[in-house]
Amino acid sequence: MASASSPLDTVVLTIAQSLSAVERTFYKLPGSAIIERYVRSSHQNDPGRTFLELIIFFLVVRTLLQSRTRADSNNAKNFIEFTEKEIDELVEDWVPEPLSRPLDDVEAAELAAVPVVAGPNGPHPTLVNTGKPAINLASLNFTGLANNEHIKQRALEAMRKYGVGSCGPTGFYGNFDVHIQCEKDIAEFLDTESAILYWQGFSTISSVIPAFCKRGDIIVVDRAVTLSIQKGMEISRSTIRWYDHNDLHSLEEVLQSVEKERRKRKGPLTRRFIITEGIFERDGTMTDLPKLIELKQKYKYRLILDESFSFGSVGRTGRGLTELYNVKASKVDMLVGSCAIGLCATGGFCAGSKNVVEHQRINAPAYVFSASMPPLLAVSASEGINVLRDTPSLLTRLQDNIRAARALLDQVECISIPSHRASPIIHIYLRNTTYTDNLLHPSSAASMPSSKPSNPTSPIPRDAPVFDIEREERLLQEVVEEAMAQGVMITKAKRVRGLEISEARPSIRLAMSSALSKSDTEKAVHVLVKILKRKFR
């Protein structure tokens, strides 16, 4: 008997011992007395509560354990269990779409017709397409800096000092003295506190925007902004409100509606931005900067202004819109420009206050994660600024050429030109009188604009202009190719149809240059005018 009970006794004894050990340890823990007192008193008062608290405790533990795999458990609702064999069959059955569609005939023809310059580009390049020299109204060489011998010489010297590549991002030994100098030059030229260089014009603003605008911030933006701005906003995930293209009245209405919305929700103060372009890439219209600044200050917004096409082309020395309207550049919070377009180098910049610039050095993806600009191109940009500053005659010649071209184009009936009279890029639309009858709904919408404002949450305006993209693209392409055959290099404004937030109207985009003489400009535009008149009589 004693021998039979002894193993049982040992077990009981062990359990009792370990229990008391647990108890001792529990009392040794700091604060255990408090817990004990709490449990005891609450249990005495209401045993049901103890039970409830236990349930809550387990729920908390469960949630904590789950949170790590929350994504999966959300999916679990939709998750279908398959056996390995079924998965194999599904894999077997799955037929993906091809990675890319081959070009159709129209696309292939258009790609083949893209002008390719043999040798250096400039006012009179030789084309690979025709094998003949042409007058250049397509390339962006507003002030003729691409052919400046002085800049070339300085760039050569820089190459012999720095090599070509910079071999690293700015953070890690890609921060050359010439980059710092170029940033300084830009800031001084525009008279802002500071400036930051990016390495590609297109990537500049699409990286500046997400550096500042985050989820929950508000962006009020023009409906016809260029693709790089659209992409930047998409990455930023901010709340976007649209106003009618280049219509500051519409802007004010949107600003008011945003303010109303905020008051209603009583939300916290968020960052608010107005984003627009100086000269619009899409159609060459120009923003009324003084009015815009007045609005931005009144409603306390920050302004991100894309001057890609206005920097280096308007104003007495090419400082852009701020010089043209005599507005202090420091009033624009983030002034974005392009060294590739305005200075015929490469890259872009954002000028602003020290805070604004330093913030981007850590937060702008295209700046942080990319190797810096080849030093020799930073030198070309710096020299470009010097040339602009010292020779205002370049800008007057450019304006003369623009005026000459506009005078000729204005005589043509079958086209309309949305671009501003000072804009160095001139967009040419076909007038749509010729085919309005063919439209399914020749409704009143097009002819009688309603007085109601557009919906600010949609990028499409209320009275969207109606045009037949395919037809206009085709007709314009015919004009372009005919002009090229006659020794005038022009181009359609190229788009990535279907990938932009709204479709831009097809247009021919002329780019004026002070490197061309006035007579050459007139000669070239005259050829174009003749073709247009003959084709669309």
Partner 1 sequence: MSTPALSLSSSFTNSTADTLLTQADAENSHGLAFPVEPPTSEQVHTTVHTEFGHCSNEAHRRFSSHIPNTPVLHPEDRDPPYYVLLSTYVSYLILIVLGHMRDLLGKRFRAKSYKHLMPSNGYAPLNSDFDSFYTRRLKKRMEECFSQPVTGVAGRTIQILDRYSKDFNHTQTSLNTVTRALNISSYNYLGFAQARGGCADAVEEGMKIYGVSTCGSRLEGGSSDLHTTTESLVAKFVGTEDALVSSMGFATNSTYIPALVSKGCLVISDEFNHASIRFGVRSSGAQVRMFKHNDTNALEALLREAISQGQPKTHRPWKKILVIVEGIFSMEGTMIDLPTILALKDKYKFYLFVDEAHSIGGIGLHGRGIADYYAVDPRKIDVLMGTFTKSFGAAGGYIAGSKVLIDRLRIRSYTGPYAEAMAPPVLTQIVASMASIMGVDNPAGTSMESLAPSSSSSTLQLISSSTSPEAQYHHPGPVPQGFLPAWITLPYALSSGFEGRERLRRLSFNSYYLHRGLDKLGFITYGHPCSPIVPLLIFNPGKMMMFHRMMKDRQTPIITVVVAYPATPLITSRVRFCVSASHTKDDIDCILRACDEIGDVLDLKHGISRKDRWSLDEICRRAVELVNLPDHEN
Task: Quote the least distance from Cβ 322 to partner 1, whole Å.
Answer: 21
Q: How many CB atoms lie within 10 A of CB 133?
A: 13
**Dmax (CA) of the chain:** 126
Does residue number 67 form part of the binding site for partner 1 (CB under 8 A)? no
Q: How many CB atoms lie within 10 A of CB 13?
A: 11
The site string for partner 1 over 207-226 (x = CB under 8 A, - otherwise) reads: -----x-x--x--------x
Among 223, 231, 397, 505, binds partner 1 (CB under 8 A): 231
Name which of 324 and 490 has its Cβ closer to partner 1. Answer: 490
The owner of tokens 């190797």 is 371
Sign of CA dihedral 160, 164, 168, 170: positive
Distances in Å between the alpha carbon of 152 and those of 139, 392, 445?
Answer: 18, 20, 54
Site for partner 1 in 289-348 (CB under 8 A): 300, 302, 338, 340-341, 344-346
Give the tokens for residue 524.
């070239």
Site for partner 1 in 5-64 (CB under 8 A): none
Q: Are 487 and 135 in contact (CB under 8 A)?
A: yes
Name which of 204 and 322 has its Cβ closer to partner 1. Answer: 204
Query: Which among 38-46, 446-454, 491-499, 523-531 is the span making contact with partner 1, rule CB under 8 A?
Result: 491-499
Identify the bridge partners of residue 89 per DSSP, sorted by sequence position. none
Task: Quote the least distance from Cβ 180 to partner 1, whole Å.
Answer: 6
Task: Quote the least distance from Cβ 144 to partner 1, whole Å.
Answer: 10
Give the tokens for residue 522.
């007139």
Q: Are 320 and 312 in contact (CB under 8 A)?
A: yes
Task: Quote the least distance from Cβ 108 to partner 1, whole Å.
Answer: 7
Does residue number 355 form part of the binding site for partner 1 (CB under 8 A)? yes
* Count of chain residues binding partner 1 (CB under 8 A): 118
Does residue number 109 form part of the binding site for partner 1 (CB under 8 A)? no
Task: Quote the least distance from Cβ 297 to partner 1, whole Å.
Answer: 10
Among 33, 180, 407, 460, binds partner 1 (CB under 8 A): 180
The owner of tokens 């691409």 is 146
Q: Are 501 and 399 in contact (CB under 8 A)?
A: no
Among 43, 124, 291, 359, binds partner 1 (CB under 8 A): 359
Name which of 50 and 270 has its Cβ closer to partner 1. Answer: 270
Distances in Å between the alpha carbon of 328 and those of 193, 293, 342, 356?
Answer: 12, 10, 19, 17
* Cα distance between residue 397 and residue 513, in whole Å: 8
Among 12, 13, 56, 90, binds partner 1 (CB under 8 A): 90
Task: Quote the least distance from Cβ 491 to partner 1, whole Å.
Answer: 5
Name which of 70 and 161 has its Cβ closer to partner 1. Answer: 161
Phi, psi for 317 (deg, rounded to 5): -115, 20
Task: Quote the least distance from Cβ 442 to partner 1, whole Å.
Answer: 32
Q: Identify the CA nearest to 140 among candidates 423, 396, 450.
A: 423
Among 135, 189, 190, 201, binds partner 1 (CB under 8 A): 201
Cα dihedral 133, 134, 140, 144 in deg (nearest 10): 70
Site for partner 1 in 245-284 (CB under 8 A): 269-272, 281
Q: Identify the CA nearest to 145 among candidates 270, 22, 318.
A: 318
Does residue number 227 form part of the binding site for partner 1 (CB under 8 A)? yes
Name which of 199 and 311 has its Cβ closer to partner 1. Answer: 199
Among 96, 105, 264, 265, binds partner 1 (CB under 8 A): 96
Query: Which among 34-42, 51-59, 353-361, 446-454 is the span making contact with partner 1, rule CB under 8 A?
Result: 353-361
Name which of 244 and 281 has its Cβ closer to partner 1. Answer: 281
Task: Quote the least distance from Cβ 156 to partner 1, whole Å.
Answer: 6
Residue 90 in 3-state DSSP? Answer: helix
Task: Quote the least distance from Cβ 365 to partner 1, whole Å.
Answer: 6
Query: Which among 111-119, 416-424, 517-525, 528-536 is the span making contact with partner 1, rule CB under 8 A?
Result: 111-119
Residue 528 in 3-state DSSP? Answer: helix
Task: Quote the least distance from Cβ 241 to partner 1, whole Å.
Answer: 16
* Cα distance between residue 175 and residue 370, in whole Å: 12
Q: Using alpha carbons only, give the angle 415, 420, 425 rounded to the nearest 5 degrees.
A: 75
Residue 457 in 3-state DSSP? Answer: coil
Does residue number 117 form part of the binding site for partner 1 (CB under 8 A)? yes
Give the tokens for residue 517.
């003489």
Task: Quote the least distance from Cβ 25 to partner 1, whole Å.
Answer: 24
Among 248, 253, 257, 371, binds partner 1 (CB under 8 A): 371
**Side chain identity at 150, as an amino acid letter?**
H
Site for partner 1 in 407-446 (CB under 8 A): none
Site for partner 1 in 137-166 (CB under 8 A): 138-141, 145-147, 151-152, 155-157, 159-166
Name which of 34 and 80 has its Cβ closer to partner 1. Answer: 80
Query: Which among 185-193, 371-379, 426-434, 523-531 is the span making contact with partner 1, rule CB under 8 A?
Result: 371-379
Supply the angle between the helices 2-28 and 32-45 in degrees, to the nearest 10: 100
DSSP letter at 327 equals -
Among 4, 8, 24, 97, binds partner 1 (CB under 8 A): 97
Task: Quote the least distance from Cβ 23 to partner 1, whole Å.
Answer: 31
Phi, psi for 408 (deg, rounded to 5): -70, -40
Beta strands in 381-449 (DSSP E): 415-416, 425-430
Q: Identify the CA nearest to 192 among candidates 381, 333, 289.
A: 333
